[in-house]
């Protein structure tokens, strides 16, 4: 195909466009759900308010409070003075890899992750709401309390090995993130009354958020993301349109060229026929004429039967069986009768 490059580029572009549209729809929906979510103070009235709702649930609500562990808080593994309710330790490997076309590109790969969590609630004075499944939160603002990078010292053997495998380790990075107790958070999710305790958990309407940002800041973030996605969509669709235009133009040119070639072939063919007709002897007896058209002389021998019964024009149309003996035609050749 002449436009294979354009087709591949169009495919990739449409894929990116699809992803952008999906992301745009997600941001739009998130912003809409957030805007519609009511905000409540954690106080003595909240329990009775939730208890009055259908199924004792508010599908999507915003609350703000201080992170308070329900029990003994977790201690940070690397910084003992820090305590919190969620702890995530990640080990990343930094390496250079021989990428496309032989270039070496830097890469960061997660090789180990461990997480610890404990029950906690958001409190406002003596009232609290327990947070369930905090780890699944779409936005989880945790503090990085430890970040250490150790460069790997490579031996001569490692260099040689790396040259052949195309992967060379550069170093290891350990990070620890902690959701500290006492931090002031905004939580958005489904608010449910379970027995005598209030709980906030992931909702069907939107993801769970545990963030230091306020509701309006969060909405603004989604609006900004939405705008930037819209820009990407416009760029991607423009590129798609240009590519479709290029492919159409190539297709049109190809068709046009084919049409012109066919026209030239046809003209040459008819000219050749005319020339042959002019050069033919005009006084031919009936048995010297083609059995099909009775106009042109017999010019073609059919094999294997060996009948010389057709002119060149008719031989082009008759392909299966000999018109004289009905024998299957395997090949044809010009016959020269001297």
Task: Tell me the window of 103-111, 176-184, 215-223, 303-311 that interacts with Zn ion (CB under 5 A).
Answer: 303-311
Note whether 292 binds Zn ion by CB under 5 A: yes
How far is the C-alpha of 278 from the C-alpha of 267, rounded, in Å?
17
Q: Determine if the peptide bond prior to 34 is cis (ω within 30°).
A: no
Task: Tell me the window of 100-108, 110-118, 174-182, 293-301 that interacts with Zn ion (CB under 5 A).
Answer: 293-301
Note whether 199 binds Zn ion by CB under 5 A: no
Neighbours of 81 (CB within 10 A): 7
Beta bridge partners of 289: 297
How far is the C-alpha of 255 from the C-alpha of 16, rounded, in Å?
31
Of residues 37, 74, 82, 311, which one binds Zn ion by CB under 5 A? 311
Size of the site for Zn ion (CB under 5 A): 12
Of residues 105, 293, 333, 334, which one binds Zn ion by CB under 5 A? 293
Note whether 226 binds Zn ion by CB under 5 A: no
Note whether 289 binds Zn ion by CB under 5 A: no
Neighbours of 185 (CB within 10 A): 20
Q: How many CA atoms lie within 13 A of 129 on its CB side?
A: 33
Q: Determine if the peptide bond prior to 304 is cis (ω within 30°).
A: yes
Smallest separation, CB 273 to Zn ion (Å)? 11
Burial label for 244, CB within 10 Å (0-12, 13-18, 19+), is: middle
Note whether 301 binds Zn ion by CB under 5 A: no
Report the residue number, 140 or 327, with the smaller CB distance to Zn ion. Answer: 327
Report the residue number, 204 or 317, with the smaller CB distance to Zn ion. Answer: 317
Residues near Zn ion (CB under 5 A) are 290, 292-293, 296, 305, 307, 311, 314, 322, 324-325, 327
């Amino acid at each position: 195909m002449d436009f294979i490059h354009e087709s591949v580029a169009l495919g990739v572009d449409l894929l990116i466009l699809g992803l952008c549209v999906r992301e745009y729809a997600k941001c739009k929906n998130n912003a809409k759900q957030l805007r519609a979510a009511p905000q409540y103070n954690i106080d003595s009235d909240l329990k009775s308010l939730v208890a009055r709702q259908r199924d004792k649930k508010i599908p999507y609500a915003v609350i703000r409070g201080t992170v308070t562990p329900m029990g003994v808080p977790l201690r940070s593994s690397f910084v003992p003075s820090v305590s919190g309710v969620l702890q995530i330790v990640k080990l990343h490997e930094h390496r250079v890899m021989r990428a496309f076309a032989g270039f070496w590109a830097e890469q960061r790969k997660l090789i180990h992750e461990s997480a610890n969590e404990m029950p906690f609630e958001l409190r406002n004075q003596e009232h609290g709401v327990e947070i369930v499944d905090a780890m699944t939160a779409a936005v989880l603002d945790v503090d990085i309390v430890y970040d250490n990078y150790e460069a790997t010292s490579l031996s001569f053997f490692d260099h040689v090995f790396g040259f052949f495998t195309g992967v060379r380790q550069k170093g290891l990075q350990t990070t620890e993130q902690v959701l500290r107790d006492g931090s002031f958070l905004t939580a958005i999710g489904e608010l449910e009354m379970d027995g005598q305790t209030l709980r906030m958990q992931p909702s069907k309407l939107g993801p769970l958020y545990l963030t230091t940002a306020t509701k309006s800041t969060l909405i603004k973030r989604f609006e900004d993301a939405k705008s930037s996605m819209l820009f990407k969509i416009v760029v991607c669709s423009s590129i798609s349109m240009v590519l479709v235009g290029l492919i159409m133009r190539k297709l049109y040119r190809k068709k046009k060229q084919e049409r012109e070639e066919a026209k030239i072939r046809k003209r040459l063919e008819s000219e050749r026929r005319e020339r042959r007709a002019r050069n033919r002897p005009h006084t031919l007896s009936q048995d010297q004429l083609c059995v099909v058209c009775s106009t042109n002389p017999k010019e073609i021998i059919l094999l294997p039967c060996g009948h010389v019964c057709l002119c060149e024009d008719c031989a082009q149309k008759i392909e299966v069986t000999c018109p004289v003996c009905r024998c299957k035609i395997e090949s044809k050749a010009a016959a020269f009768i001297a």
